[in-house]
Amino acid sequence: MQTLINTVIIDDEPNARATLALELKLHCPEIRIIGEAASVEEAVQFLQSTAGVDLLFLDIQLTDGTGFYILEQVDYQQFKIIFTTAYSDYALKAIKFSPLDYLLKPVDAEELRAAVDKALRTKQDSFNHQVQSFLQQYRAIAAPPERIALATSDGIHLFPVKSIIRLASEGNYTTVHFENGKKLLLAKTLKDLEESLARHNFERIHKSHLVNLDHVSSYVNRFGGEIIMSDGAELPVAQRKKAQLLHRLGDF
């Protein structure tokens, strides 16, 4: 008789939970879903009160927090974890450099089967060590420095990250706009600066614009989508960037 794997799905999207449950039924018959949760609060309550959980499908970003916060509130040493996400962000980058598995939504059947097999093959002690190492790395990423060093022709200048409103591409140069009205021209591409600011609350909304989400005043649907910044700038949102931007704005 096949041993069933008691599994919990944590995701704030009902359709995502239903789709994953169906894929598991079709491709992973040894999986038995014993519970679901749609928020950090629900997940913590369920996991703290339920024994015998073997496997957790954990969404990275929930409406009231991150999946990583859940792991810091419960005894994760009793089960295996497979992360799920619809977006590529700094947290996903950290997972990519760890032995932990993740699935991009919509979930691919073959990748799902492979992730389940890998999780079940991994010894619990080894898995616990992987999660512990990852959480240490994630905490370091999630608490970035408050200042950033920007190099110009006359030297290196330190600025509070929160003082940067937006960055605009000027070919191989980038203009940085600050909340005091100051502008700084850097001999760096927008892509280079995007990587430097990846750990902060910045979002690339267009090939020419990288913005500090803390300085977004509003989003409007005109002309395919625009955002208005705290300095009054009206910036276009590229169609392929729209879903990610609205998702992040919805988390505020």
Q: Which domains does the chain have, with CATH numbers?
A: 5-142 (3.40.50.2300), 147-250 (2.40.50.1020)
Pick 46 or 248 by higher pLDDT.
46
Query: Residue 166: its pLDDT value, please?
Result: 97
Q: Is the pLDDT of residue 11 over 70?
A: yes
Pick 14 or 143 by higher pLDDT.
14
Query: Residue 88: its pLDDT value, please?
Result: 57
Query: Residue 192: its pLDDT value, please?
Result: 85
Q: Is the pLDDT of residue 3 over 90?
A: no
**Contact criterion met (CB below 8 Å) for 17 and 9:** yes
Per-residue pLDDT reduced to its tens digit, 188-213: 999 888 877 877 889 999 999 999 99
Average pLDDT, integer, range 56-77: 86
**Contact criterion met (CB below 8 Å) for 165 and 178:** yes
Q: Is the pLDDT of residue 249 over 70?
A: yes
Query: Residue 98: its pLDDT value, please?
Result: 64
Query: Residue 252: its pLDDT value, please?
Result: 52
Q: Is the pLDDT of residue 142 over 70?
A: no
Tokens of 133: 């190492």
Highest-scoring range by mean pLDDT, 6-15, 146-155, 222-231? 6-15
Q: Is the pLDDT of residue 49 over 60?
A: yes
Confidence of residue 45 (pLDDT cuts 50, 70, 90): very high
Q: Is the pLDDT of residue 57 over 60?
A: yes
Pick 209 or 130 by higher pLDDT.
209
Query: Residue 64: its pLDDT value, please?
Result: 79
Query: Residue 247: its pLDDT value, please?
Result: 79
Which residue is listed with tokens 């080894």?
126
Beta strands in the chain (DSSP E): 5-10, 31-37, 55-59, 61-62, 65-66, 80-85, 102-104, 147-152, 155-160, 164-170, 173-178, 183-186, 202-206, 209-212, 216-220, 226-229, 234-236
Counting residues of the chain whose pLDDT is more than 70, the rounded percentage is: 90
Pick 215 or 96 by higher pLDDT.
215
Q: Is the pLDDT of residue 251 over 60?
A: no
Query: Residue 135: its pLDDT value, please?
Result: 78
Tokens of 109: 């059947």
